[in-house]
């Protein structure tokens, strides 16, 4: 009885055309003649002999089973002879040959890096909450006012001190001063330099659809950020459009309190001189926590503020260092910033900018004109194969709750754009 | 395979390759390299022949290294290598692939050159790019190996070096290491890029560059036309094409695609890193609409303004798509759950779909194609990159293209640029 073709194929394919004898590695096909270009050298050796009288032939296997793949091992001629030789039978037992075959076949599969045709089991889908480094704007000023301006340079404009705490950001474009304050009002902070009676009023939404005006609008928002950060004691790094902490005194490190991810209170270094780990010796540069903030429109009149934590490097706490000298330090620091560190940094900044309250408040004088950014991180639900729970890292302080003071501040702030506006009638005449 | 280098380095490179071809053991984070042998791994064999080697003699090398002027030294080194390429190319039988082994001395003394020319202004040259451009003249695909990789000073895990080296070799020798899965048949994927000529004198000149791929991942590099771009006048640092320029470039792409494939593409997808300005968009549209029914123009921007943050040690999954209002984002790097690992170092940044003109395919389908195209970098064995290959190679190809004079036709095959 011969070995069926299907069994032969199974054996040769799984053996990878190589002798299964340990350490042999002989290829079992060779180059032949032009008429017969491939010569087969491999031999299908029986583990339990085909006949009961043959080598290892004493077995309950049926004649049919003896010719199946399970009972065959692919060898070169030399090793076939060796395992069947009288003197070696005690050494090459049925068990040993099975093990030899299995090891060989596994090695072939591994060696060739074959792709398993058993579908890979994908991790189960799970529901997760993901956060972002983006804060939603909950209220934008409704109007922008522009009036002819008697001075041509922005640094010549000195807004009068408006009511306590009011911010007065403005830009000069095309001979006009543009601001969020009502320039028709003769007590407006720019009254010295603008012609109140020639004031134009635009709805902010109108500006957002015009690319040029949108640019102006963003400039005005950036001025507002400058005011806000300035009040919080941050400095502006013009070259990189970011805000950073400076030391309060030369050579003195600085840290500020904040509410971290999982505890009620902690302090965080914001200006420091790194030390060499081995010797404790101070390095020749200073690091400053910094942040890049940008307002952007995400469609449907919805604005957001993105918070991108950064680092500034100086030689002594004040003098910036040229990029080519510090690139490596910053890159190295950045390469150690992982997902959860980023969350910690964003947490720090939202807490600092919002002074641990539910919102960042830009007071422009009247309730309807204020700019308010929520300090709740934009988040979303995802369903995905997920990251194994053993890598989970806690984040407890997700929400801010109003206290009496923040509640009072927010009270009366209308976030409803459809509310009646006593000025609406005037709009037509002004435009 | 041919080898160029000092006698010592040629020998070292040969020994290194022969030993790595046997296979390289992996470790916990780096899979084993299965080898480059007829019976395993790449199922290929290394064929060396002394007749294919060009050794750099002591004297000729010293004559180059002793030159005082950085510019002259750089040129002398380039001339020396070019002579070697020529000698190789003039043989009766030419190797498929040439490995250039660079000694530390050559890298330090001739690796780069910065000089100012009367006509060119300040010029920055790089030996690697110049060598590629020079070898291209003789149609020789090359691989540069530096001494630290050969003598073990390079701390990259050995199996990773082997994977990258042999994968690139396989591709440069004319093989396809792997094929993309999930690209749409009959689609022509186009990446648009730009580069500036060598030197700072012509700061406003730009040349357009297109990279064309079919659904099997076979690609061509085509040089477009030169044009002026003044960032101060236009208010944008990234160049944009005029309607005519865009029309011409797309016509060139379609002509080449048709010549190669003997048919018109059923669909065109264009990737670009900057937005489509109205003229540019109209030019592309006019060229495409006259010949192809379906098209999508996409601008993909790597940005770090908006990120998703998980409450885990690891960042979001590669392949995560999210929207913020009208803005659409895709993470092409990130945690890979099927492998239980994250390849990158720091926090990954998603790609933003900054612009999308033409709505002939769903956004999901287009982003799936972007993901598939991030896997087509045959110059490395990495699982996937940040950018789809359509725009990934722009920078790399542009750097070499600028070394090729305007009057010399650059070769279209990718293997000469990577």
Residues B286-296 pLDDT 10s: 999 999 999 99
The pLDDT assigned to A418 comes to 42
CB of A398 within 8 Å of any CB in chain B? no
**B41 min Cα distance to partner chain A (Å):** 6
pLDDT of residue A257: 95
Tokens at residue B248, please?
Answer: 């011409």
More confident residue, B287 or A106: B287
Contact B101, B145 (CB under 8 A): yes
Q: What is the pLDDT of residue A425?
A: 36
Q: Which of B307, B327, B328, B339 to mutate to test the interface with A (most CBs of A within 10 A)?
A: B307
What residues are paired with A289 via a beta bridge? Answer: A311
Residue A395: phi and psi, rounded to 5, are -145, 100
pLDDT at residue B87 in the model: 93
Judging by beta carbons within 10 Å of its beta carbon (0-12, 13-18, 19+), is residue A256 exposed, middle or buried? middle
- Secondary structure (H, E, C), chain A: CCCCHHHHHHHHHHHCCECCCCCCCCECEEECCCCCCEEECCEEEECCCCCCCCCCCCCCCCHHHHCCHHHEEEECHHHHHHHHCHHHCCCCCHHHHHHHHHHHHHHHHHHHCCCCCCCCCCCCCEEEEEEECEEEEEECCCEEEEEEECCCCHHHCCCCCCCCCCCCCEEEECCEEEECCCCCCCCCCCCCCECHHHCEEEEHHHHHCCHHHHHHHHHHHHHHHHHHHHHCCCEEECCCCEEECCCCCCCCCEEEEECCCCCCCEEEEEEECCECCCCCCECCCEEEEEEEEEEEECCCCCEEEEEEEEEEEECCCCCECCHHHHHHHHHHHHHCCCHHHHHHHHHHHHHHHCCCCCEEEECCCCHHHCEEEECCCCEEEEEECCCCHHHECCCCCCCCCCCHHHHHHHCCCCCCCCCCCCCHHHHHHHC
Q: Name the residue facing A391 among B34, B304, B314 (closest C-beta).
A: B314
Q: Do A392 and B325 touch (CB under 8 A)?
A: no
Whether the Cβ atoms of residue A337 and residue A217 lie closer than 8 Å to each other: no
- DSSP letter at B346 equals S
pLDDT, one tens digit per residue, over B138-185 is 999 999 999 999 998 999 999 999 999 999 999 998 888 888 888 988
Question: Does pLDDT of A430 surpass 60?
Answer: no
% of chain B surpassing 90 pLDDT? 57
SS3 B299: strand
The pLDDT tens digits for B251-263 are 999 999 998 888 9
Q: What is the mean predicted confidence (pLDDT) over B104-133?
A: 91
Count Cα neighbours of A348 within 13 Å in the Cβ-side half-sphere: 20
Q: Do B313 and A120 touch (CB under 8 A)?
A: no
Query: How does residue A428 score in pLDDT terms, banded at 50, 70 and 90?
Result: very low
pLDDT of the residue at A426: 36
Those residues with Cβ within 8 angstroms of residue B398's Cβ, 6 or more apart along the chain or in another chain: B193, B194, B195, B209
Percent of chain B with pLDDT over 70: 99
Whether A129 sits inside 8 A of B306 (CB atoms) is no
Give the per-residue pLDDT at A239: 86
Tokens for A311, please give them: 């680092």
Residues in CB range of A26: below 8 A, 6 or more apart: A18, A19, A41, A76
Measured in angstroms, the CA of B355 and the nearest CA of chain A are apart by 13
Looking at every residue in chain A, the average pLDDT score rounds to 86
CA atoms within 13 A on the CB side of A388: 11
Q: Which residues of B touch A (CB under 8 A)?
A: 23, 34, 39-41, 304-317, 320, 322, 324-327, 335, 337-338, 340, 345-347
Task: For residue A129, give how far its alpha carbon lies from the nearest alpha carbon of chain B (Å).
Answer: 7
Of the listed ranges A32-36, B320-324, B396-400, the one predicted with least confidence: A32-36
CA dihedral A305, A306, A307, A313 (to 10 degrees): -120
Closest chain A C-alpha to B275 CA, distance in angstroms = 14
Give the residue with greater pLDDT, A4 vs A177.
A177
CA distance B49 to A375: 69
B329 chain-A contacts, CB cut-off 8 A = none
A414 Cβ under 8 Å from any chain B Cβ = no
- What are A366-417's pLDDT values in tens digits? 878 999 999 999 999 999 988 888 889 999 988 887 776 666 666 555 444 4
Nearest to A385 among B306, B309, B337 (CB): B337
Of B309, B315, B325, the CB nearest to A132: B309
pLDDT, tens digit, 9 for 90 and up, residues B90-108: 998 888 899 999 999 999 9
Q: In angstroms, how far is CA B60 from the centroid of its own chain?
A: 32
Residue A275, classified by CB atoms within 10 Å of its CB into exposed (0-12), middle (13-18) or buried (19+), is: exposed
Q: Is the confidence at residue B117, as pLDDT, over 90?
A: no
Which residue has tokens 């950085």? B70
Picking from B16, B249, B339, B281, the residue whose alpha carbon sits closest to that of residue B150 is: B16
Q: Model-level pTM?
A: 0.79
Distance of alpha carbon B409 from the chain centroid = 18
Q: Tell me the residue length of chain A.
A: 431
Average pLDDT rounded to a whole number, residues B61-87: 95
Whether A285 and A313 have beta carbons less than 8 Å apart is answered as yes
Q: Are A177 and A157 in contact (CB under 8 A)?
A: yes
Minimal Cα distance from A297: which residue of B?
A: B325
Lowest mean pLDDT among A120-129, A253-262, B32-41: A120-129
State the average pLDDT over residues A301-325: 87
Query: Residue B346 and residue A338: Cβ atoms within 8 Å?
Result: yes
Q: How far apart are CA A186 and CA A192, in angstroms?
A: 9
Q: Which two tokens stand for residue B313?
A: 């040690």
Chain B residues inside the 8 Å CB shell of A134 = 306, 324
Higher per-residue confidence, A252 vs A40: A252
| Mean pLDDT within B17-43 | 89
User: Which of B162, B337, B348 is the best mutation test for A, with the most CBs of A within 10 A?
Assistant: B337
The residues that bridge with A139 in the sheet, in sequence order, are A372
């Amino acid at each position: 009885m011969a070995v069926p073709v299907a069994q032969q194929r199974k054996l040769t394919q799984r053996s990878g055309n190589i002798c299964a004898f340990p350490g042999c590695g002989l290829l079992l096909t060779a180059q032949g003649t032009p008429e017969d270009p491939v010569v087969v050298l491999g031999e299908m050796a029986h583990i339990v002999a085909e006949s009961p009288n043959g080598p290892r032939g004493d077995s309950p296997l049926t004649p049919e089973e003896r010719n199946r793949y399970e009972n065959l091992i692919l060898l070169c001629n030399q090793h076939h002879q060796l395992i069947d030789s009288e003197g070696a039978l005690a050494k090459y037992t049925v068990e040993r040959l099975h093990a030899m075959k299995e090891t060989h076949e596994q090695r072939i599969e591994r060696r060739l890096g074959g792709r398993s045709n058993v579908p890979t089991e994908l991790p189960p889908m799970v529901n997760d909450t993901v956060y972002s480094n983006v804060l939603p704007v909950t209220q934008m000023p409704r109007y922008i006012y522009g009036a002819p301006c008697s001075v041509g340079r922005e640094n010549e404009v000195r807004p009068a001190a408006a009511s306590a705490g009011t911010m007065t950001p403005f830009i000069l474009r095309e001979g006009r001063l543009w601001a969020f304050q009502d320039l028709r009002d003769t007590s407006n902070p720019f009254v010295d330099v603008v012609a109140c009676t020639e004031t134009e009023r635009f709805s902010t939404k109108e500006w957002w659809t015009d690319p040029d005006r949108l640019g102006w609008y963003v400039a005005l928002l950036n001025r507002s950020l400058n005011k806000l950060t300035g009040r919080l004691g941050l400095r502006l790094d013009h070259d990189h459009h970011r805000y950073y902490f400076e030391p309060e005194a030369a050579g003195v490190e600085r840290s500020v309190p904040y509410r971290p991810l999982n505890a009620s209170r902690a302090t965080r270094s914001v200006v420091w001189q790194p030390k060499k780990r081995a010797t404790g010796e101070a390095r020749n540069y200073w690091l400053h926590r910094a942040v890049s903030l940008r307002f952007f429109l995400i469609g449907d009149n919805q604005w957001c503020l993105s918070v991108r934590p950064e680092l500034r490097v100086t030689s002594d706490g004040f003098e910036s260092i040229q990029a080519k000298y510090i690139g490596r330090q910053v890159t190295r620091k950045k390469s150690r910033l992982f997902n959860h560190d980023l969350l910690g940094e964003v947490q720090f900044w939202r807490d600092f900018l919002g002074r641990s309250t539910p919102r960042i408040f830009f007071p422009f004088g009247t309730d309807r004109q204020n700019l308010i950014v929520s300090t709740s991180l934009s988040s979303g639900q995802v369903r995905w194969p997920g990251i194994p729970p053993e890598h989970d890292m806690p984040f407890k302080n997700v929400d801010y709750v109003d206290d009496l003071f923040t509640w009072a501040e927010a009270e009366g702030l209308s976030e409803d754009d459809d509310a009646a506006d006593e000025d609406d009638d005037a709009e037509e005449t002004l435009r | 395979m041919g080898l160029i280098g000092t006698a010592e380095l040629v020998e070292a490179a040969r020994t290194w390759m022969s030993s790595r071809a046997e296979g390289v053991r992996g470790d916990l984070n780096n899979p084993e390299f299965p080898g480059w042998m007829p019976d395993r791994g790449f199922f290929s064999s290394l064929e060396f022949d002394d007749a294919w080697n060009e050794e750099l003699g002591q004297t000729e090398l010293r004559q180059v290294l002793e030159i005082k002027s950085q510019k002259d030294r750089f040129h002398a080194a380039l001339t020396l290598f070019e002579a070697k390429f020529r000698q190789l190319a003039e043989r009766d039988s030419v190797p498929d692939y040439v490995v250039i082994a660079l000694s530390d001395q050559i890298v330090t003394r001739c690796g780069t050159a910065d000089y100012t020319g009367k006509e060119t202004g300040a010029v920055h040259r790089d030996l690697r790019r110049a060598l590629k451009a020079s070898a291209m003249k003789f149609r020789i695909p090359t691989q540069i190996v530096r001494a630290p990789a050969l003598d073990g000073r390079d701390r990259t895990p050995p199996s990773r070096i082997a994977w990258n080296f042999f994968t690139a070799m396989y591709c440069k020798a004319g093989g396809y290491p792997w094929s993309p899965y999930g690209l749409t048949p009959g689609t022509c994927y186009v990446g648009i890029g730009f580069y500036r000529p060598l030197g700072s004198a012509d700061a406003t000149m730009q040349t357009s560059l297109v990279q064309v791929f079919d659904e099997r991942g076979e690609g061509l590099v085509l040089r477009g036309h030169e044009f002026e771009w003044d960032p101060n006048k236009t208010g944008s640092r990234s160049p944009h094409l005029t309607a005519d320029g865009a029309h011409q470039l797309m016509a060139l792409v379609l002509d080449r695609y048709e010549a190669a494939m003997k048919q018109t593409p059923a669909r065109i997808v264009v990737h670009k890193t900057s937005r489509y300005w109205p003229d540019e968009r109209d030019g592309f549209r006019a060229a495409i609409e006259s010949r192809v029914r379906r098209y999508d123009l996409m601008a993909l921007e790597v940005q770090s303004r908006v990120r998703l943050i998980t409450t885990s040690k690891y960042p979001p999954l590669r392949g995560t798509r999210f929207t913020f209002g009208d803005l659409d984002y895709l993470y092409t790097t990130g945690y890979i759950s099927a492998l239980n690992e994250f390849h990158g170092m720091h926090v990954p940044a998603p790609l933003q779909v900054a612009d999308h003109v033409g709505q002939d395919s769903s956004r999901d389908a287009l982003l799936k194609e972007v993901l598939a195209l991030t896997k087509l970098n045959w110059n490395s064995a990495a699982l996937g990159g940040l950018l789809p290959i359509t725009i990934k190679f722009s920078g790399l190809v542009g750097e070499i293209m600028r070394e090729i004079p305007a009057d010399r036709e650059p070769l279209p095959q990718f293997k000469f640029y990577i």
